[in-house]
């Protein structure tokens, strides 16, 4: 790959030979084109870009430009210089200016810049399945008459607009230009291209029959009717003069029962004070602006472009077989349902009785639980791709797909390797969003140019843009530390929902507990919060925090598609390098992905219902004798075993067990065992002594289990049938 770098009119102290050496030492990275640093690649040196663009296009080679400021200009120049055809590989861009070239320690930033360039040279993630939307431009505008009609006028030349007038007040035009409905919205669900709305009209005037002749307004003695063509029922004294004035049109009927109506729309513009959707991120195609004029302009501009077919990536993949949400009508882990800010995830458990109460309430616009086979259901049209569900999922049943953990892990590994190869030390990874997070990093870099009190992004801080900060979790955080990062920071802005902040905080508490328990000094994981430019000073100070203790030798493993596998690889390396070797590390209970199962042997009957409930094979029986065995490495602390146990004999203990160098947690150990009960006829063991004794005690007084029938309870299944056949003349159906 050819790379062009520019020092932006000599405002950055770039060292091209050092960058070239660092990239040459990094596997997969290319130093082609880094023989010189341009100063005005977008102006005086534009010829160098044009030549490189032509050469790479002709050779079907990728071109990377280390400038995002003028990316639009470069793309235009590239399009103009190509006589025909499309570029086989699009031009890529990487920001080295605001991310480090303009910081106060920019002269020490060569390792970081080499790392950013190396990561930018990686091939893009493989394409994934897409989710499609189709919009024909049918738009519902909800609000008062004048506000809704004014907004509709801004949309009518592009969209098929209908109005829902939700209360008396305002005025509609005399000319009937568009469909008008009146009433109170009672339900709105769906997404772009598929919104289902339902409203109820209790007003005596039917807007479809009304001719807007204004006769009713003229005769109403209380002035209870205005040009919204609705009756203010609080002012109306029911003189009925309006009914007589309406005459044959018959649009006014005080005896009409409340009417429910519904319709399907592609888009919704909501001008009411309270939104129809209460989640942090409403469905695509829905815009709530209230009385905010600036928000109205933004929404109108967006709505006008939402006609046609649209695709987005399907951001997740789901493996139901290891989902720890539900088994056998019992609820265990609901972490993904709790954290989803779009309410795209719902339970697919077949629930009865009180078990349904364990699903969190989601408000009036929630999707109801449907009977099903267990696990979860994700509505891809509602999913916004935040990835928070994948971060909190303890088993890895739901994972991020765009990019996959393997692709994201490759970026981390390349970034950290290039930084280390160039002589960098104490790397701090800073995950930030591609939207608000990237803008804040840019503002911080620009501020460092003009404000002597602002340092800028330090040389050891490696910013890494992701689609959403909640999509990176404990598996990749600990992997990054194992592969050489001293610190892992996540920058949160107003984009993040409160659910994300809580979930990320809980997961970071677990990761930090592990690092502290292993004896690594310092705080390795932090959430950094900054809303906008007003928080730049605090963000600037946070980025200059001292480095935590990292590993002495970096790991060479590559992150895997399976979350638990990646976690185990990271933990194995961190334990190998750890300053301390405790037998166990206590973990916070909230969101803990590791732990033990404790069994009260005084009440457990070894019914083994917990074994059937465990989705990850952490619990197992022994075919040879009555035993309950446990592999702690597999346990995800979902709690299904505890909710399934009929004797309430199971409790969870969040921890990371490291006895015997971590080998003990990988081996099966016996939690409980009993002497087997032996068949009184053939001597074959079946069940346990306690279980059979409990059964005999409960059924011993029943008339159906006296004499020979009672003795059959002490036999194995085979002998019970044989004995019943031999005494068939004496057997009642209940004996079988």
The per-residue pLDDT for 97 is: 96
pLDDT tens digit sequence for 176-226: 888 999 989 999 999 999 999 999 998 898 888 899 999 999 999 999 998
Judge: domain 405-581, CATH 3.40.50.
Answer: yes
pLDDT at 352: 41
Helices (H), 588-664: 609-613, 640-644
Q: For position 88, what pLDDT does the model report? A: 83
Instruction: With a cut of 90, say whether residue 368 has pLDDT above it.
Output: no
Mean pLDDT of 354-366: 36
Of the pLDDT bands very low, low, confident and very high (cuts 50, 70, 90), residue 366 is: very low
Q: In terms of Cα–Cα distance, which of 399, 387, 398 is closest to 503? A: 387
Class of domain 133-311: alpha beta
pLDDT tens per residue across span 476-493: 999 999 999 999 999 999
3-state percent helix, strand, coil for the chain, nearest multiple of 5: 35, 20, 45
pLDDT at position 699 is: 84
- What pLDDT, on the 0 to 100 scale, is given for residue 422? 93
360 — pLDDT class (breaks 50, 70, 90):
very low
Whole-number Å distance between alpha carbons of 48 and 540: 36
d(CA 692, CA 727): 23
pLDDT surpasses 80 at 143: yes
Q: Given this model, what pLDDT does residue 731 score?
A: 54
Ramachandran area for residue 9 (φ above 0: left; ψ -120 to 50: alpha; else beta): left
pTM for the model stands at 0.86
**Confidence category of residue 399, pLDDT binned at 50, 70, 90:** very high
Q: Which helix (H) or strand (E) holds 573?
A: helix 563-577
649 HSE (CA, 13 A, CB side): 18
Q: Look at 138 and 360; give whichever has higher pLDDT.
A: 138
686 φ, ψ (degrees, to nearest 5): -155, 140
The matching CATH number, chosen from 3.30.390.30, 3.30.70.1140, 3.40.50.620, 3.30.70.3270, for 594-673 is 3.30.70.3270
The answer to whether residue 370 scores a pLDDT higher than 70 is: no
pLDDT, tens only, 58-106: 888 999 999 999 999 999 999 888 766 678 888 999 999 999 999 999 9
pLDDT at 363 over 50: no
Taking only the tens place, the pLDDT of each residue in 227-242 is: 989 899 889 988 889 9
In the numeric block, the tokens 């920071």 are attached to 489
C-alpha closest to that of 564 among 509, 631, 616, 639 = 616
Q: Which fold has domain 314-400?
A: Alpha-Beta Plaits (3.30.70)
Residue 27 pLDDT class (50, 70, 90 cuts)? confident
- Would you list the domain boundaries of the chain? 1-93, 133-311, 314-400, 405-581, 594-673, 676-735
Q: Do domains 133-311 and 405-581 have the same CATH topology?
A: no
For residues 644, 649, 654, 656, the Cα torsion angle rounded to the nearest 10 degrees is -110
Supply the pLDDT for residue 149. 92
- What pLDDT score does 372 carry? 40
CA atoms within 13 A on the CB side of 422: 35
Check whether 35 has a pLDDT greater than 90.
Answer: no
Question: Between 48 and 717, where is the model more confident?
Answer: 48
Q: Is the pLDDT of residue 538 over 60?
A: yes
Q: What is the pLDDT of residue 705?
A: 84
CA angle 518, 522, 527 (to 5 degrees): 105
- Whole-angstrom distance, CA of residue 95 vs CA of residue 69: 8
How far from the centroid of its chain's Cα atoms is residue 193's Cα? 23
Q: Which residues contact 521 (CB under 8 A, 6 or more apart)?
A: 548, 549, 579
Q: Is the pLDDT of residue 288 over 70?
A: yes
Is residue 114 within 8 Å of residue 418, measured between CB atoms? yes
pLDDT of residue 256: 85
Residues 323-359 have pLDDT tens digits of: 999 988 889 999 999 999 999 999 987 544 333 333 3
Q: Please provide the DSSP assignment of 503-546 as one string.
A: HHHHHHHHHHHHHHHTT--S--EEEEE--SGGGHHHHHHHTTPP
More confidently predicted of 137 and 259: 137
- Evaluate if residue 15 carries a pLDDT over 60: yes
pLDDT, residue 729, reads 65
Residues of the chain above pLDDT 90, percent: 70
């Amino acid at each position: 790959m050819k790379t062009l770098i520019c020092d932006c009119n000599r405002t950055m102290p770039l060292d091209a030979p050092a960058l070239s050496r660092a990239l040459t030492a990094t596997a997969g990275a290319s130093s082609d084109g880094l023989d010189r640093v341009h100063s005005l690649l977008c102006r005086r040196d534009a010829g160098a870009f044009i030549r490189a663009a032509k050469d790479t296009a002709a050779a079907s080679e990728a071109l990377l430009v280390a400038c995002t400021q003028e990316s639009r200009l470069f793309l235009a120049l590239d399009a103009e210089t190509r006589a025909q055809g499309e570029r086989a590989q699009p031009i890529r861009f990487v920001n080295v200016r605001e991310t480090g070239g303009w910081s106060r320690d920019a002269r020490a930033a060569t390792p970081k810049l080499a790392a950013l360039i190396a990561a930018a040279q990686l091939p893009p993630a493989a394409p994934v399945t897409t989710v499609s939307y189709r919009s024909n431009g049918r738009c519902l505008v909800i609000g008062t008459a004048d506000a809704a009609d004014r907004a509709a006028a801004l949309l009518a030349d592009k969209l098929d607009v209908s109005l829902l007038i939700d209360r008396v007040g305002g005025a509609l035009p005399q000319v009937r230009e568009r469909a008008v409905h009146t009433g109170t919205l009672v339900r709105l669900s769906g997404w772009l291209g598929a919104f289902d709305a339902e409203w109820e009209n209790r007003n005596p005037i039917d807007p479809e029959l009304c001719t807007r002749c204004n006769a009713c307004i003229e005769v109403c003695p209380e002035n209870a009717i205005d040009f919204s063509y609705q009756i203010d029922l609080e002012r109306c004294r029911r003189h009925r003069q309006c009914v007589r004035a309406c005459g044959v049109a018959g649009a006014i009927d005080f005896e009409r029962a409340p009417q429910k109506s519904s319709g399907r729309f592609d888009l919704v513009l909501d001008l009411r004070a309270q939104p129809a959707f209460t989640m942090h991120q409403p469905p695509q195609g829905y815009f709530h602006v209230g009385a905010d004029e600036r928000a109205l302009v933004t929404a109108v501009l967006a709505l006008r472009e939402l006609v046609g077919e649209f695709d987005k990536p399907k951001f997740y993949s789901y493996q139901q077989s290891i989902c720890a949400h539900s088994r056998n009508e019992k609820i265990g882990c609901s972490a993904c349902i709790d954290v989803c800010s779009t309410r795209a995830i719902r339970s697919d458990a077949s629930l009865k009785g009180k078990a349904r109460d364990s699903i969190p309430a989601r408000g009036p616009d929630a999707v109801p639980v449907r009977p099903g086979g267990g696990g979860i259901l994700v509505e891809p049209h509602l999913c916004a791709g935040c990835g928070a569900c994948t971060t909190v999922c303890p088993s890895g049943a739901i994972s991020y797909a765009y990019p996959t953990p393997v692709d994201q892990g490759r970026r981390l590994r390349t970034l950290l390797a290039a930084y280390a190869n160039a002589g960098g030390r104490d790397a701090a990874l800073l995950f930030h969003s591609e939207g608000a997070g990237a803008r804040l990093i840019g503002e911080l870099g620009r501020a460092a140019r003009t404000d002597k009190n602002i340092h800028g992004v330090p040389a050891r801080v490696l910013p890494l843009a992701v689609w959403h900060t909640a999509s990176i979790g404990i598996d990749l955080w600990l992997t990054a530390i194992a592969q050489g990062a001293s610190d892992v920071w996540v920058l949160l802005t107003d984009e993040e929902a409160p659910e994300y902040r809580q979930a990320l905080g809980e997961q970071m508490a677990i990761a930090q507990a592990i690092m502290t328990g292993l004896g690594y000094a310092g705080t390795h994981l932090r959430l950094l919060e900054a809303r906008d430019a007003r928080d730049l000073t605090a963000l600037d100070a946070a980025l200059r925090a001292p480095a935590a203790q990292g590993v002495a030798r970096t790991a060479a493993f590559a992150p895997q598609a399976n979350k638990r596998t990646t976690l185990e690889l990271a933990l194995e390396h961190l334990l190998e390098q750890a300053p301390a070797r405790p037998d166990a590390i206590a973990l916070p209970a909230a969101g803990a992905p590791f732990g033990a199962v404790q069994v009260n042997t005084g009440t457990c009957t070894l019914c083994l219902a917990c074994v059937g409930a465990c989705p990850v094979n952490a619990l197992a029986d022994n075919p040879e004798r009555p035993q309950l065995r446990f592999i702690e490495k597999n346990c995800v602390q979902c709690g299904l075993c505890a909710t399934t146990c009929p004797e309430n004999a199971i409790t969870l203990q969040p921890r990371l067990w490291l006895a015997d160098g971590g080998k003990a947690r990988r081996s099966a150990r016996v939690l409980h065992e009993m002497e087997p009960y032996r068949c009184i006829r053939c001597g074959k063991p079946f069940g346990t002594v306690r279980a059979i004794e409990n059964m005999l005690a409960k059924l011993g007084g029943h008339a159906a289990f006296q004499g020979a029938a009672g003795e059959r309870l002490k036999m194995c299944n085979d002998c019970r049938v044989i004995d019943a056949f031999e005494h068939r003349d004496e057997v009642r159906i209940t004996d079988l």
